[in-house]
Amino acid sequence: MTEPGPVAVQGVGGVAPPPDRSVVVVLPAALRDEADGRSTVTVSVTAAPVSAAVTVGRVLDALAAAHPRLERRLRDERGTLRRHVNVFVAGDDCRALLGQDTPVPDGAEVVVLPNIAGG
């Protein structure tokens, strides 16, 4: 008699659930109080469906779920990035790319910075 092999984790319809991706979000000092004083927050984002890209918007959704007070500081009531907030993915400003639809590559950091005006 043989031992049964390992059981695969099954999702809906017998398909394995999509894997979670960890994304590091770097916060400026002005927002750290909203994230329990942390300068970096690692959030788990599910790439569902599996072929879907992890985007800035999905990272911000996961960040808001973990730290709800950050949501109103980063996005307005329509879900749009506030104009005084800049979000960078791997060094590129997401507004110059696809906004909140900007893909976040594996291993890339998402950096939130306040907009600095002056001269």
Rounded to whole angstroms, how far apart are CA atoms 41 and 27? 8
Alpha helices in the chain (DSSP H): 56-66, 68-74
Report how far apart, in Å, the C-alpha atoms of 11 and of each of 4, 14, 15, 31 are: 20, 6, 5, 37
pLDDT of 4-48, one tens digit each? 444 444 444 555 555 688 999 999 999 999 999 999 999 998 766
Rounded to whole angstroms, how far apart are CA atoms 111 and 91? 8
pTM: 0.78
The pLDDT value recorded for residue 86 is 95
The pLDDT value recorded for residue 51 is 58
Q: Which residues contact 2 (CB under 8 A, 6 or more apart)?
A: none
pLDDT of 68-96, one tens digit each? 999 999 999 999 999 999 999 999 999 99
The pLDDT value recorded for residue 27 is 97
End-to-end CA distance of the chain: 79
**Could you give all domains of the chain from N- to C-terminal order, each with its CATH number?**
19-114 (3.10.20.30)
**What phi and psi values does residue 5 have, to the nearest 5 degrees?**
-75, 180
Q: Please name the residue that has the structure tokens 């800035």.
A: 56
Question: What 8-state DSSP symbol labels residue 103?
Answer: B
